[in-house]
Structure 1
Amino acid sequence: MAKGTGKVLAQNKKAGHDYFIEETIEAGIVLQGTEIKSIRAGKVQLKDSFVRIRNNEAWISNMHISPYDQGNRFNHDPLRSRKLLLHKKQISQLIGRIKQDGYTIVPLKMYVKDGYAKVLIGVGKGKKNYDKRDDLRKKDAKREIERAFKARQQ
């Protein structure tokens, strides 16, 4: 299977707006208790989450997984940091990339592949305001062209 295939449960649309994504890596994630049930129910948010490297391990922070409705008192903390499962070589490549000025690691998608929860993380460089405005201008122009073409067909 190609990267990013499977049932997409959460997507970080803001990442594409705020960063130029240059490289993507698929990573497993360490979960506790009823977290996988909440993820399969689609109760996960990647909006403000980020990836940090600590002690040569990748950790995803600020990812919100809602507590499972039918869970008991052993439900998990929704905003806890979760470890990402990557090879040492991949982590060292990530460390090399983020040491460059302006690069960061952001989660792009969360999906289930072969029964396992996976996170697609991307290495990206932050966009400036004028880059964001330029992207919006291109998007609006494309939308206008499609609208005109659709009106012409009718």
Structure 2
Amino acid sequence: MSKKAKKQPQGTVAVNKKARHLYELSDFIEAGISLTGPEVKSIRKGQVNFQDSYVEFRKGSAFLVSLHIAPYENAGYVEQDPDRDRRLLLHAREIARYAAAVEQKGLTVVPVKVYFHHGKVKVEIALGRGKKLFDKRESLKQRAIERDAARGEQY
């Protein structure tokens, strides 16, 4: 009998909760990300921080800027910058569509979550329009109303 193959984690590793608070998100898409081995191991441990991260377009490529991936402690002598720009793997037409939206409409592309899909690290990105203070308050009120209504239905 042969050994069973180990199952790879398929779930979400990290979610950018602040993105939903700061932006009105639309047009979600899954993108691959170019990483080194120790970075993947660090992501498996959940050591990812989204603070102030966004997607930037340069020379027909998309880069994830300032996504903090903590250095893997067993990486050996290899020193990696935890905040380096990481290339996103997207089709050229997807890059062109998102870059045009950023240029013309003044939108921002932000990472929403990092997860594993069939053993590969994927990043879900979305177009976001910045919310004003009153929009943030309104969305908080709306969520509270929905929560109260759901509570009323339970009892």
The SS at the match of 1:100 is: helix
Match of 2:143 in 1: 139
Moved over 3 A (4+): 146-150
Answer yes or no: is 1:27 the counterpart of 2:45.
no
Gaps of 5+ in 1: 1-5
Aligned to 2:82: 78
Alignment correspondent of 2:133: 129
Q: Is 1:47–2:51 an aligned residue pair?
A: yes
What are the equivalent positions in structure 2 for 1:65-104 lying under 5 Å apart? 65-104=69-108
Say which of 55, 61, 78 aligns to 1:57.
61
Partner Cα separation in structure 1 for residue 141 and residue 68 of structure 2: 32
- Measure how far apart 1:141 and its partner are: 1.7
Q: Can you list the C-alpha shifts for 1:41-80, whole angstroms capped at 9, x where unaligned?
A: 1111123211000111100011011111212120421111
Structure 2: tracts of 5 or more residues without a match: 1-9
TM-score, normalization: structure 1?
0.89
Work out the CA distance in 1 between the residues paired with 2:148 and 2:34.
Answer: 44
Task: Indicate if the aligned counterparts of 1:32 and 1:76 stay in contact, CA closer than 8 A.
Answer: no
Percent of paired sites with the same residue = 41
TM-score by length of 2: 0.88
Q: 1:34·1:75 contact (CA, 8 Å) conserved in 2?
A: no
